Amino acid sequence: MWFTSDNAGPAAPEIMEAMMSANEIYSQSYGADPIMDRVRDKIRDIFEAPHAAVYLVATGTAANSLALASMVQPWQTIYCHRHAHIQEDECGAPEFYSGGAKLTLLDGADAKIDLASFEQSVAETGQVGVHNVQKGALSITTATENGAVYSVAEIEALCAVAKANNIPVHLDGARFANALVNLGCTPAEMTWKAGVEVVSFGGTKNGCIGVEAVVLFNPDRAWEFELRRKRGGHLISKHRYLSAQMDAYLTDDLWLNLAIKSNAAAAKLSAGILQLPGATLLHPTDANIVFAGWKRSGHQAVQNAGAHYYFWPFDQTLNGDPDEILTARMVCNWATTEADIDSFLGLISK
């Protein structure tokens, strides 16, 4: 019963097998391996983007920060939700890699950017010329840190405002597959056809060991990204181990099948919790993350049985009124079993 994060789950067997196969060969370094050629072709095919530039890094923070740094100048701002991962969980890395670009924080329910909030913020940017930061880039996260998924129409609306103001759009897709499975659309429809220029295409949270792709639909940004990746210390010498993961991830729809499993597990967990007296959902369960509240006595039961998850917010305690509702964040992964969920639900329902 381990629900702290999808990062806590195991790597998929197909990923492990690919890594072992890569370990049996000699190959060129720094992305010149033949496996990367396959990866590049597969991603271009999946996104219907034959001219896209494709690069791999080992972490989501590197993917987001280097992508955004290639899109803005130090005197510009990056618009994002106040609960975006680049704001809350990357220790200032986007500001560091961009040389000091400011983050402008926007509002919206379920960590999705409200269109009016974005429009107002853009209108207020740079009004006093050289004394202000200037318009830079927009960063959207889907699935969001609160587990919600933007509809294609919502992405299109945000991108339309950005385009009207010459603001390029980045999509943080650490859980890209989970969002895509929820929407039932194509990767192209969720990205460049909607107006997204750069996407961080995640693998680590969805069954890989540690690999993220940065896909630049405008290849004019490619050389700068390459230089920033190298200068930032994220050009991996034994690159074939990144390539092998992504190659296996994209083979036979593994990336989609893993996301289907984790989303289904979260849906089952969410539905089961809602059957409890007084239970609530804090945010919609659109992907593989569940934010819910139930009685303290239920929390005591599952945690005494060894369940792992986070109180949300963190400053809650097991000590107190057994009927008080405490809220929590639970994340499912591709390997979360029905037995895990049934055991968890059985304990909190007693």
* pLDDT tens sequence across 28-52: 999 999 999 999 999 999 999 999 9
Mean pLDDT of the chain: 97
What band does 350 get if pLDDT is binned at 50, 70 and 90?
confident
Q: Give yes or no for a contact between 172 and 140, defined as CB atoms under 8 angstroms apart.
A: yes
SS3 19: helix
User: What letter does residue 211 receive in the DSSP assignment?
Assistant: -
Measured at the CA of 20, the angle between CA 18 and CA 21, to 5 degrees, comes to 65
Cα separation, 326 vs 108, whole angstroms: 24
Omega cis (within 30) before 271: no
C-alpha distance from residue 40 to each of 19, 43, 192 (Å): 18, 5, 17
* pLDDT, mean of residues 67-91: 97
Over residues 75-90, the mean pLDDT reads 97
141 falls in which pLDDT band (50, 70, 90)? very high
Query: Architecture of domain 255-349 in CATH?
Result: Alpha-Beta Complex (3.90)
Cβ(74)–Cβ(228) under 8 Å? no
What's the order of all strands across the beta sheet hosting 76-81? 53-57, 212-216, 198-202, 169-173, 134-141, 76-81, 102-106
> What CATH fold (topology level) applies to the domain 12-253?
Aspartate Aminotransferase; domain 2 (3.40.640)
Work out the pLDDT band at 282, boundaries 50, 70, 90.
very high
pLDDT band of residue 6 (cuts 50, 70, 90) is very high
Q: Does the structure show a pLDDT above 90 at 349? A: no
DSSP secondary structure of 266-301: HHHHHHHHHTSTT-EESS---SSEEEEEEEHHHHHH
Residue 87 pLDDT class (50, 70, 90 cuts):
very high
Binned at pLDDT 50, 70 and 90, residue 163 comes out as very high
**pLDDT above 90 coverage of the chain, percent:** 98
Which pLDDT value is given to residue 82?
A: 97
- 315 pLDDT band, cuts 50/70/90, is very high
Q: Is the pLDDT of residue 176 over 90?
A: yes
Q: How confident is the model at residue 173 (pLDDT cuts 50, 70, 90)?
A: very high
The domain spans of the chain are 12-253, 255-349
> In terms of pTM, does the model score above 0.75?
yes
Alpha-carbon gap, residue 29 to 338, rounded angstroms: 42
Do 81 and 171 form a contact (C-beta atoms < 8 A)? no
Determine the average pLDDT of the residues in 140-168.
Answer: 98
Residue found by looking up tokens 């192209």 in the block? 188
DSSP code, position 113: P
- 75's enclosing H/E stretch is none
Taken in order 124, 129, 132, 134, the sign of the CA dihedral is positive
Report the helix count and the strand count for the chain, using DSSP H and E: 14, 11
The whole-number average pLDDT for the span 302-323 is 95
- By the 10 Å C-beta count (0-12 exposed, 13-18 middle, 19+ buried), 222 is classed as middle
Hunting for tokens 């940004």 — which residue is that? 221
Evaluate the omega torsion of the peptide bond into residue 10 and state whether it is cis, within 30 degrees of 0: no
- CB atoms under 10 Å from CB of 203, counted, come to 29
| pLDDT tens readout for residues 208-248 | 999 999 999 999 999 999 999 999 999 999 999 999 999 99
- Average pLDDT on 96-104 reads 97
Residue 73 pLDDT level (bands cut at 50, 70, 90) = very high
